[in-house]
Structure 1
Amino acid sequence: MDYLIDFLILGLIYYLYFYRKWRKRSIKELIINTIMYVYIVMVLFVTLMPFTISILLGSTNSLFTANFIPFRDFQEGYNGAIKEIILNIIMMMPFGFLYPIIKKRGVLHTLILTLLFSIIIECSQLLGSLWGGAPSRSFDVTDLFTNTIGGFIGYLMFICLRPIVNKIVRSS
C-alpha cells in the first residue's frame, strides 16, 4: 500500500507539473523527458521506496551502518559486494545516456549530475533510516563511486550511439 501511495503521488506530480510543461514542446521532447522521469521514478523505487517518515526518530545505529570506506564490502569479501557494484553501475547507465540527450551537455556536466543524483539518494537513505524508514537502506560511499562509473559508461554509450540518436532526433 505504501508503494501505491508513492506511485500515485509521483504520477500526480508528473501530470500536474511535468506533463503540462513538456506537452507544449515537441513530441520527441515529451517522450524523452517522460522516459527520463519514469527512469528516475524506478531508481527511487529501488533505492528509497516506500517513503516512510516516522514521527519518532528511528535507530541511532544508522550512522554505524553507514559505510564511509570505499569498496569496504568488496575488500572484506562480502558475498554480495560484486553484485551490488554491478547493479549500481547498471542502475545509473541510463542517466548517463539520457541526460546528454535532454540537456545537450558534455561528459563533465553529466558526471557531476550523476554524482549529485547519487549523493541525494545516499543522503536520503541515511535520513530515512534515521527517521525510522527502511532499516535495509544505508549510506554507502561505494555507491557514489559505482553510480558515477555507471553514469560515465552510459555517457560513453551515448557517444557511441550519437549518430543514431541524432538521426532519430532529426527525423521526429
Structure 2
Amino acid sequence: MDYINNFTLLGLIYLLFFYRKWNKRSKHVLIINTLMYVYIVMVLFVTLMPFSLSLGLGQTNPLFWEKANFIPFRDLILHYGGAEREIVLNILMMIPFGFLYPVIKGRGIFKTLIMTFLFSLAIECSQLLGSRWGGLVSRTFDVTDLITNTFGGLVGYIYFIGLKPLIDRIIPSNE
C-alpha cells in the first residue's frame, strides 16, 4: 500500500508542477524532462521506497552508524558476496543521469559529475537517516556507492559526448 501511495504522490507532483511547465516549451523538452523524472522516480524506487509516511519518532536504531560503510570498496576487499554485482549495478544505475543531465541542462563534464555526486549523496544520506529512524532497515550509507554512482555518471556523460551529434540533430538548440 505504501508503494501505491508513493507513486500516486509522485504522479501528482509530476502533473501539478512539471507537466504543464514542460509542455509549454516544446514536445522535445517535455519528453526529455519526463524521461529524467521517470528515471529519478525509478532510482528512488530502487534505493528508498517505500517512503515511510511517519517519521518514526521514538523508534531509533542506535546501531545505524555501525551499519554505515565509510571505507571505499570494503565489501570488495573483504570478498563479501555480491560486492562485484553491487558495484556494477551502481554504475549502471547512474549512467542515465550522466547522459540525460547534460542533454537537459547543457552542462559540461565537471557540472555533470558534481550533480551526479550530489544526487548520490542525497540518496546515501536518506538511507543513513532512514536506517536511524526506521523505515529503511535494510538500507545504509556506503561510500563505495558514492564512488561507483559518480563513475556511472561519467560513463553516461561519455555516451552523451558520443551521441551528441545525433542529439543535436534531433533536438533543436534553441529549446
Q: Same fold (TM over 0.5)?
A: yes
The alignment status of 1:7 with 2:22, answered yes or no, reads: no
- Tell me the percent identity: 63
Three-state SS of the structure 1 residue aligned to 2:159 is helix
Q: Letter of the aligned partner of 1:95 in structure 2?
A: F
Match of 1:93 among 92, 95, 105: 95
Kindly state the Cα deviation for residue 55 of structure 1 after the two structures are TM-superposed.
2.8
Q: Letter of the aligned partner of 1:118 in structure 2?
A: S
Could you say which residue in structure 2 is the equivalent of 1:33? 33
Q: Is the 8 A contact 1:28 1:169 kept in 2?
A: yes
Give runs of aligned pairs for residues 1-172 of structure 1, distance below 5 A.
Answer: 1-52=1-52, 53-170=55-172
Structure 1 vs Structure 2 CA RMSD? 1.3
Three-state SS of the structure 2 residue aligned to 1:170 is coil
Q: Is the 8 A contact 1:56 1:132 kept in 2?
A: no
Three-state SS of the structure 2 residue aligned to 1:51 is coil
Q: Letter of the aligned partner of 2:105 in structure 1?
A: K
Kindly state the Cα deviation for residue 6 of structure 1 after the two structures are TM-superposed.
0.5
Structure 1 segments of 4+ aligned residues over 2 angstroms from their partners? 55-58
Q: Is the 8 A contact 1:58 1:133 kept in 2?
A: no
Q: Is the 8 A contact 1:96 1:153 kept in 2?
A: yes
Q: Is the 8 A contact 1:96 1:152 kept in 2?
A: yes
Kindly state the Cα deviation for residue 94 of structure 1 after the two structures are TM-superposed.
0.1
Structure 1: where are the runs of 5+ without partners? none
Write the distance in 2 (CA, Å) between the matches of 1:99 and 1:127. 27
Q: Letter of the aligned partner of 1:36 in structure 2?
A: M
TM-score, length-scaled by structure 1 = 0.97
Write the distance in 2 (CA, Å) between the matches of 1:3 and 1:159. 36
Structure 2: where are the runs of 5+ without partners? none
TM-score, length-scaled by structure 2 = 0.95
For these two proteins, the number of residue pairs brought into alignment is 172
Once the two structures are superposed, what CA deviation does each residue of 1:116-154 show, in whole Å capped at 9, x if it has no partner?
000000000001111111211000000000000000000
Q: Letter of the aligned partner of 1:138 in structure 2?
A: T
